[in-house]
């Protein structure tokens, strides 16, 4: 193990990953190709402190007031899936990026790119779903845009939501705060969203129960956690690339070691079965209603109790800790007693899950 901590990209990838001149599906996957695009093209073009923090939401100053801002486009296919649809996802995804950055979500923009020929009845269902999800999350849709592209130049419906919110006073959540000794908590079962999308798309079913997306707005869970344990260092919502992408990114950027205990990972039986059959690692599969928290050791029990007292945190668990050893690396204690590195794949295996 080298103490010459590698960057997010270099970690364990001897392949020269710049060897393509075209956009690949993996550029949008949350894997190494995504990271490469961000690090080599986007970050250098737009260097500024708010962007460089690379947290789930940027913090900017408008007239002396700090405003949190985040954006996400949603290209999930199919549009409707067990547990949710693209509209609900578009609200919750953006609201959650604000929430885990320590901001109270307030307002959303809503931009639709429609494909010619898309059924207006389906659009209506999606809009109604956005309406419900916004009401549940306590945010208002205040501005919007609609574009239409020719048949065959889109895929029914893409949605962008951009959210702004107000940082909760006295709260500072940022991956820059993470320290050795921090305990890593996850708010519930992992992999539900990605596996539900995949099984719907491929028409697969598995024993062990229904596969449903976990899409949900996390702001009230975050507020409950912060009320109980204001000293939480950082939170993330582990969407594309799953919990693995979250911990690998924080380990690499903050030059910290992370240890994950595979036996502690909360996983639904149906998701576990599906992942075994499909050869997927649940740690790499997207979630849409979960958060990962980095909590000082002394506050871990209190944070866990607060999470478990909230309906969206009932299955919260401690899954690992931050260590001073092996900076830049995530190591998993496996179920069978071994230890292995956790790394991001070149391209995550589930495209268009959000």
Using an 8 Å Cβ cutoff, are 240 and 286 in contact?
Answer: yes
Q: Does 315 bind a second copy (CB under 8 A)?
A: no
Asked if 153 interacts with a second copy (CB under 8 A), we say: yes
230's tokens: 């204001």
Tell me 41's DSSP state: I
Nearer to a second copy, 28 or 191 (CB): 28
Instruction: Tell me how far, at minimum, the Cβ of 48 lies from a second copy, in Å.
Output: 5
Minimum distance between the CB of residue 173 and a second copy, rounded to whole angstroms?
Answer: 15
**Which CB, 119 or 335, lies closer to a second copy?**
119
User: Under the criterion CB under 8 A, does residue 116 sit at the interface with a second copy?
Assistant: yes
Window 67 to 106, contacts with a second copy (CB under 8 A): 67, 69-75, 106
Q: Is 146 left (phi over 0), alpha (psi -120 to 50) or beta?
A: beta
Query: Is there binding between residue 115 and a second copy (CB under 8 A)?
Result: yes
325 binds a second copy (CB under 8 A): no
Quick one: 116 or 325, whose CB is closer to a second copy? 116
Burial of 171 (0-12, 13-18, 19+ CB in 10 A): middle
What is the smallest separation between the CB atom of 332 and a second copy, expressed in angstroms? 28
Task: For CA atoms 148, 151, 152, 158, give the dihedral sign.
Answer: positive
Of 33-41, 258-266, 281-289, 329-337: span binding a second copy (CB under 8 A): 33-41
List the x/- string, 39-58, binding to a second copy by CB under 8 A. --xx--xx-x-xx-----xx
Q: Which among 62-70, 208-216, 222-230, 248-256 is the span making contact with a second copy, rule CB under 8 A?
A: 62-70
User: Is 185 within 8 Å of 100 (Cβ atoms)?
Assistant: no
The candidate with the shortest Cα–Cα distance to 76, out of 248, 258, 217, 200, is 200
| Interacting residue with a second copy among 39, 109, 201, 296 (CB under 8 A) | 109
Cα(138)–Cα(103) distance, rounded to whole angstroms?
Answer: 13
Residue 150 touching a second copy (CB under 8 A): yes
Residue 70: strand, helix, or coil: strand
Q: How far apart are CA 39 and CA 77, in angstroms?
A: 27
Please pick, from the candidates 6, 13, 82, 107, the single residue that binds a second copy as defined by CB under 8 A.
Answer: 107
Interacting positions 282-301 with a second copy (CB under 8 A): none
Q: What is the DSSP string of 222-243?
A: HHHHHHH-TT--EEE---TTHH
């Amino acid at each position: 193990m080298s103490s010459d901590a590698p960057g997010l990209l270099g970690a364990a990838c001897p392949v020269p990953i710049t060897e393509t001149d075209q956009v690949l599906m993996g550029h949008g996957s949350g894997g190494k190709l995504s990271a490469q695009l961000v690090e080599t093209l986007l970050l250098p073009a737009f260097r500024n402190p708010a962007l460089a923090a690379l947290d789930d939401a940027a913090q900017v100053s408008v007239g002396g007031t700090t405003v949190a801002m985040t954006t996400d486009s949603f290209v999930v296919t199919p549009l409707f899936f067990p547990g949710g649809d693209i509209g609900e996802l578009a609200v919750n995804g953006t609201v959650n990026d604000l929430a885990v950055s320590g901001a109270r979500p307030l307002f959303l923009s809503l931009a639709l790119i429609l494909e010619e020929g898309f059924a207006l009845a389906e659009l209506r269902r999606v809009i109604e779903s956005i309406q419900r999800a916004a009401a549940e999350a306590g945010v208002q849709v205040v501005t919007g845009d609609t574009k239409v592209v020719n048949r065959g130049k889109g895929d029914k419906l893409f949605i962008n939501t951009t959210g702004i919110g107000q940082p909760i006073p006295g709260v500072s959540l940022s991956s820059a705060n993470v320290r050795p000794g921090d305990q890593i908590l996850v708010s519930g079962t992992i992999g539900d969203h990605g596996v539900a999308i995949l099984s719907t798309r491929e028409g697969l079913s598995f024993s062990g129960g229904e596969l449903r997306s976990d899409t949900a707005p996390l702001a009230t869970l975050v507020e409950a956690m912060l009320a109980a344990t204001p000293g939480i260092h950082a939170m993330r919502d582990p969407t594309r690339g799953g919990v693995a992408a979250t911990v690998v990114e924080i380990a690499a950027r903050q030059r910290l070691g992370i240890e994950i205990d595979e036996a502690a990972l909360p996983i639904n039986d149906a998701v576990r079965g599906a992942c075994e059959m499909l050869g997927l690692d649940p740690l790499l599969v997207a979630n849409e209603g979960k958060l990962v928290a980095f909590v000082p050791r002394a506050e871990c029990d209190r944070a866990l109790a607060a999470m478990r007292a909230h309906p969206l945190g009932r299955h919260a668990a401690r899954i690992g800790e931050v260590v001073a050893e092996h900076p830049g690396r995530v190591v998993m204690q496996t179920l069978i007693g071994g230890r292995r590195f956790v790394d991001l794949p070149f391209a995550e295996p589930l495209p268009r899950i959000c």
